[in-house]
Structure 1
Amino acid sequence: MADKSLLKQAQVIVTALFFVLSGCATTSDYQDPRDPIEGFNRAMYSFNDVLDKALVKPLAQGYKTITSASVNRGISNFFGNLTDVGSVINNLLQFKLKHAASDVGRVLVNTTIGWLGFIDVASNMNLQKYDEDFGQTLGTWGVGAGPYIVLPLLGPSSGRGVFDVVVGWYTNPVSYVKSNYWRNSLAALRAIDTRADLLGTSHVMEEAALDPYEFRRDAYLQKRKNDVYDGAPPPDPEFE
């Protein structure tokens, strides 16, 4: 049974790599200037999708089955509290001092009264969560988004977003856990918890979108632009 399981996993990985290396995904005649490497991105999207369906999604479904709604919410709150640490730093880099103060208050309140963040006490105290990251900081500084990129395992990103991946690692408290076992376990738990929270959304997208790749790309780029301009982006005549 073990040999059959390993063989099946190997077949899935080989099939996924074929999609990436072939780069033969179908693209439309129209070339979106925001997505100059669409062929590669579609291949990488296919690889991530195969990996998700074969491994990540089943793990997320199992995780959601064995955890109650309150436990699931508590774990999401815990990782959300850790994210607020990076948000403090990026708000300071953007000179959003009021937002930074709110995030500092959230971390202090949720880490203490909220039992390391498992209970989101700060939201009940009207301390708003801002979720600023380094990609948004670069955008605020005037750095362009750059080309759309689909990263292996991580999914949608951009030229600017790649820097956020690197800086985000160093502003994440989990990165400083000395034990490799616990650091990797926490990172894996966060990934599975995040995927579990998106199960319903991904199902709707798969059913509704004619081209899931294009849908996710456009949604990601629009959201990131909206984030950089704090919900009030300037009009873009080319894509209105």
Structure 2
Amino acid sequence: MNVIRTLPLLVLALALTACAGKPARDSAPAGVAVDSSPAAATTDTAVAATDSASTDVAAPVAEVAAPTDAGTPPASGDAAPTNAEDDFAALYGGPAPTADGVEPERAIYDPWEPFNRRVHSFNNVVDRAIARPLATAYTHVVPRFARTGVSNFFNNLRAPVTITNQLLQGRPDDAWDSLGRFLMNSTLGIGGLFDPASKALVPSRKEDFGQTLGAWGWRRSRYVELPFFGPRTVRDVFGLAGDMPLSPIRTIEEDKVRIGLQGLQLVDMRSQLLAIDDMRANAVDEYTLVRDAWLQRRNYQIENDLRGKHARGKDADDTAPIPVDAMPMPNWGN
């Protein structure tokens, strides 16, 4: 009899236990509206947290004192590169992240930033007033195939500078490829207007004396922006002096012909940068964007020179320095 009397009590206790394991709104009686709004959820969470805090008195002290700073960055080895970082590296030719997500250090050495910003503002004024309107008109008037021929022509004229610097860097195989490319485009390509060497899979590379100085050990150099020439480092300023005697255009004694070719080269180079004008215009700090992208690209080129890793295709020109042969300057050596 005692067992029979106790059985209903046990059934009732089990039912109450099962109900206690369910959320509060699951046990609401039929016909009663359940408030599932965010405010109600927040209130439920707060109540649950209060109940948990009041009952869990035996929680270890170390667990209570655990850090709660969600803004603390994870260790570099645990952080995978974001999509934005991948896009930036792809756009500017930057070093790809390693397998564990760590990117090589990109030191920004810009102690002359106040001066550089003033020069950058001056260059932007000149660009908006002269260079960009000329480049826009050039793209509207000159057909694409003709613009491609102009770009091929000036790229081919850069070959002597590239070949010499590849030899100075101890890369005779690359210099041989560049020489073969130059001869092929100069003959079969009708003076470089066409690019049969690329169809023959001959690699296209660009080297200058600034990169050579970097390969020789001048790795860290302060950033400087020159009027008209744009982004540089002090190392690359000295590199201009090394490249100047190798420029085929600068050997032209007729001033009108030389300056005309140099002006056309500048317009051609500026037309290739029209695609990134919107990105520069929408940047929070356009100076920082240009500086960091240029230094990243430059450091990437020098690191590849040191490691012997050279792309088997055309180098990206969106952050390339303006070559000395493109600037209308007097021929001091003549």
TM-score normalised over the length of structure 2: 0.58
Q: Check if 1:174 corresponds to 2:249.
A: yes
Distance 2:108 2:303 in 1: 21
Distance 2:248 2:306 in 1: 31
Identity of aligned residues (%): 36
Matching residue within 260, 267, 285 for 1:192 = 267
Distance 2:108 2:287 in 1: 16
- Equivalences for residues 129-144 of structure 1 within 5 A: 129-144=204-219
Residue 301 (structure 2) aligns with: 227
Distance 1:105 1:174 in 2: 20
Q: Check if 1:49 corresponds to 2:124.
A: yes
Helix, strand or coil: the match of 1:119?
Answer: coil
Distance 1:227 1:104 in 2: 20
Deviation of 1:232 (Å): 8.2
Residue 113 (structure 2) aligns with: 38
Helix, strand or coil: the match of 1:73?
Answer: helix
Distance 1:232 1:189 in 2: 34
Matching residue within 70, 74, 77 for 2:152 = 77
Distance 2:124 2:108 in 1: 24
Q: Which entry has the higher C-alpha Rg, 1 or 2?
A: 2
Number of equivalent positions: 201
Structure 1 contact 84–129 (Cα < 8 Å) conserved: no
Deviation of 1:170 (Å): 1.8
Matching residue within 227, 236, 239 for 1:161 = 236
- Equivalences for residues 110-149 of structure 1 within 5 A: 110-149=185-224
Structure 1 contact 102–128 (Cα < 8 Å) conserved: yes
The letter for the 1-side match of 2:163 is: V
Deviation of 1:167 (Å): 2.1
Could you say what the CA RMSD is over the residues aligned between the two structures, in angstroms?
Answer: 1.5
TM-score normalised over the length of structure 1: 0.81
Describe the shift of the 1:168–1:203 C-alpha distance in structure 2 as closer, same or farther (beyond 3 A).
farther
Q: Which of the two has greater helix per residue? A: 1
Runs of 5+ in structure 2 lacking a partner? 1-106, 308-334
Worse-superposed segment, 197-206 or 213-222: 197-206
Moved over 3 A (4+): none
Runs of 5+ in structure 1 lacking a partner? 1-31, 234-240
Helix, strand or coil: the match of 1:149?
Answer: strand
